[in-house]
Structure 1
Amino acid sequence: MRVDLSVSWLGLTMANPLYNASGVMCRSVTELEQVRHSAAGAVISKSCTLQPRDGNPEPRYHATALGSINSMGLPNAGYAYYRDYARSYPYAQGKPLFLSISGMTLEDNLSMLADLASSALPCIPEVNLSCPNLPGKPQLGYDPDACAITLAEISRIYSGPFGVKLPPYFDPVHFSQMADLLNEFVGLRFVTCINSIGNGLVIDPDTESVVIKPKDGLGGLGGSYVLPTALANVREFARLLHGKHVVGCGGINSGREAFMHILAGATAVQIGTCLYEEGEGAFARILDELRALMLQKGYRCLDDFRGKLKTL
């Protein structure tokens, strides 16, 4: 039996549902090209600010037995660097490109999106509403009023399809409140769930110390730590959003977790911590495992099980 892993959405076709999470293998053209030449179905750039940033002081990433903690602080080469990459990107080869935007201010985001709109490039922006690792700056995604203003201004400036990367939500009221807000914007075509769970703390009992330097050791959790939270956010937004897609992100180490995200309603799936630790070979391995699991269950395509999670 042949298994079809392709995904058609946003007017695009991906050979499979996997791509990198913004922040992993996407800061430089070299890394972006590694992802493009891998088995990934798409590529997304590093969340960029208007001007280049060095990010937070090192050490700012630490792997653990259950995932990772990081406080990167948006290190990136600046918007123009990624826009220029988008200009030279070989779209005709059929692997979509997403451009992640994370301005330090609303005006910065609008400036970048206005320029992107005038460039008429076929890449699709993902606006980051959820960076938890900037000292002194709260996550926009936890402020519904600010989100409403931001999305209204983005929709005024940018007429093409776009998405947003969301922080994790933990209460049904917040799922519903955010979904009602997101449903108001027709151009907003997808949400990515989730960014890391912010402000966790990992302690090394041998050294009696935190393991990363920024924010006195506080950082965003990724990897297996966040899988149940990510799945809950994917399932709830898949149920509550109308005519929009959900991209699953969080805790995918194998084909089984990718399957879970799609079963919960994800259209596509981003890989973060696992990709950081394993490199671009993770895409082929996870796809092989997903394909084998689908064969075992008798599924011919992703639509056969997408969003069909059973409840008790």
Structure 2
Amino acid sequence: MDKIDISTSISNIKLSSCIMNASGALCSTEIELLNLLKSSSGAIITKSCTNILRKGNLEPRYFEWKLGSINSMGLPNLGIDFYLYFLENIEFKKPFFLSISGLSTEENLLLVEKSNAFSNIDALELNFSCPNINTNKKILGYNFNEISNLLEKIFEFNKKPVGIKLPPYFNDDHFNKISNILNKFPISFVTCINSIPNGIFIDINKESTVIRPNNGFGGIGGKIIKPFALSNVNKFYSLLRKDISIIGCGGITSGKDIFEHILCGATAVQVGTQFIKEGIKIFDRLKNELVSFIKNKDYSSINNFKGNLKKVK
């Protein structure tokens, strides 16, 4: 098994494993980040941060069931300064990605500017896909003109590798529009997908919703969304420049799921709902399962099958 290579690279950033956490999953506090740094994940990413601390939405705001999860967290985080200065006091060798999610163009620019002053941040993931902020604005990932204008301003000064976390897309027009925009800028990677917005889950015994914010509506994640995640990964693999890596996210519970994401074109994967369910030990389990699955397929590296999804004729 030691001969199976599951390492990868994103914008010349070397990851010992293609498996990492998803932003929002047990990556907000000092203890959670330290646990991730000690884990076998290939890299870590923080909770999407704003300029100042946010408490987020009222609880209960997260619920799991067998096939998935629903959440309306509302971007609870400790503020960007906590994440920036957390890194100054520890030694680590693992790639560190900072997720940011400003509530306005001005805040996003400020967050990127602050981040550029810290050399120990390897890359930025701009969260353009948060569905649970409780504002009247639609998800940024569906506002194509605003994305284009924001990226133009960011790349006037940004010096770090930048990736974009995208919401799920469902039609070719949207895939083409966002791809045309991203291909114009020096984007290093995209992460797809975030949770599917505006779902609802019912507690049949109580005959009620299960989360409090937004009248029970929230983002759906977990095993149930894997087909949508895979379709987005594969679409973007065909539409984006080949130097833009794709991080697959959505529905990963096993090594087989990771294999499918990579087969669709992913360079790496992020794990959210299942990480929350299992805790830090999940990275060892998924790593072992992926290595076994690849070995059984008679491959020696993830590069042997990346993007090689066959289509029925």
TM-score by length of 1: 0.97
> In structure 1, the residue corresponding to 2:246 is in which secondary structure?
strand
Alpha-carbon deviation of 1:250? 0.2
Counterpart residue number, 1:290: 290
Alpha-carbon deviation of 1:105? 1.0
Counterpart residue number, 1:39: 40
How many residues align structurally? 309
| Aligned 8 A contact 2:57 2:213 in 1 | yes
Q: Distance between the aligned counterparts of 1:87 and 1:146, measured in 2?
A: 34
Q: Distance between the aligned counterparts of 1:116 and 1:69, measured in 2?
A: 30
Q: Distance between the aligned counterparts of 1:25 and 1:286, measured in 2?
A: 17
2:289 alignment partner AA: E
Q: Is residue 2:144 matched to residue 1:166?
A: no
Q: What does 1:216-295 align with in structure 2 at a 5 Å threshold?
A: 216-242=215-241, 243-295=243-295
2:202 alignment partner AA: I
Alpha-carbon deviation of 1:204? 1.2
Counterpart residue number, 2:20: 19
Q: Distance between the aligned counterparts of 1:122 and 1:134, measured in 2?
A: 25
Alpha-carbon deviation of 1:9? 2.6
Counterpart residue number, 2:51: 50
Q: Distance between the aligned counterparts of 1:208 and 1:9, measured in 2?
A: 46
Counterpart residue number, 2:152: 152
Percent identity (aligned): 44
Q: Which moved more, 1:16-25 or 1:130-139?
A: 130-139
2:297 alignment partner AA: K
Q: Distance between the aligned counterparts of 1:118 and 1:292, measured in 2?
A: 41
Q: Is residue 2:304 matched to residue 1:304?
A: yes
Alpha-carbon deviation of 1:88? 3.5
Counterpart residue number, 2:205: 206
| Aligned 8 A contact 1:86 1:97 in 2 | no
| Aligned 8 A contact 2:97 2:121 in 1 | no
Q: Distance between the aligned counterparts of 2:304 and 2:152, measured in 1?
A: 36
Q: Any idea what the Cα deviations from partners look like across 1:103-129, whole Å, max 9, x if unmatched?
A: 111111111111211333342110000
Q: Any idea what the Cα deviations from partners look like across 1:280-306, whole Å, max 9, x if unmatched?
A: 111110111111111101010010010
Counterpart residue number, 1:100: 99
| Aligned 8 A contact 1:113 1:157 in 2 | no
| Aligned 8 A contact 1:38 1:283 in 2 | yes
1:206 alignment partner AA: N
Q: Which moved more, 1:116-125 or 1:38-47?
A: 116-125
| Aligned 8 A contact 1:48 1:79 in 2 | yes
| Aligned 8 A contact 1:22 1:46 in 2 | yes
Q: Any idea what the Cα deviations from partners look like across 1:168-213, whole Å, max 9, x if unmatched?
A: 0000111111100100002x11000000001101111110100000
1:25 alignment partner AA: L
> Which structure 2 residue ranges, 5 or more long, are not aligned?
none
1:229 alignment partner AA: F
1:15 alignment partner AA: S
Instruction: Kindly report structure 1 stretches of 4+ aligned residues shifted beyond 6 Å.
Output: none
Counterpart residue number, 2:65: 64
Counterpart residue number, 2:8: 7
Q: Any idea what the Cα deviations from partners look like across 1:36-94, whole Å, max 9, x if unmatched?
A: 11111100001000000000000000001211000000000000001112334534x2x
Q: Any idea what the Cα deviations from partners look like across 1:115-157, whole Å, max 9, x if unmatched?
A: 2113333421100001000112321000100111111111113
> In structure 2, the residue corresponding to 1:167 is in which secondary structure?
coil
Q: Distance between the aligned counterparts of 1:294 and 1:210, measured in 2?
A: 41
Q: Distance between the aligned counterparts of 1:87 and 1:276, measured in 2?
A: 27
Quickly say closer, same or farther: Cα 1:58–1:81, change in 2 above 3 A.
Answer: same
| Aligned 8 A contact 1:43 1:97 in 2 | yes
| RMSD of Structure 2 on Structure 1 (CA) | 1.1
Quickly say closer, same or farther: Cα 1:235–1:89, change in 2 above 3 A.
Answer: farther
TM-score by length of 2: 0.96
1:116 alignment partner AA: S
Q: Distance between the aligned counterparts of 1:284 and 1:128, measured in 2?
A: 27
Q: Distance between the aligned counterparts of 2:162 and 2:104, measured in 1?
A: 18
| Aligned 8 A contact 1:86 1:123 in 2 | no
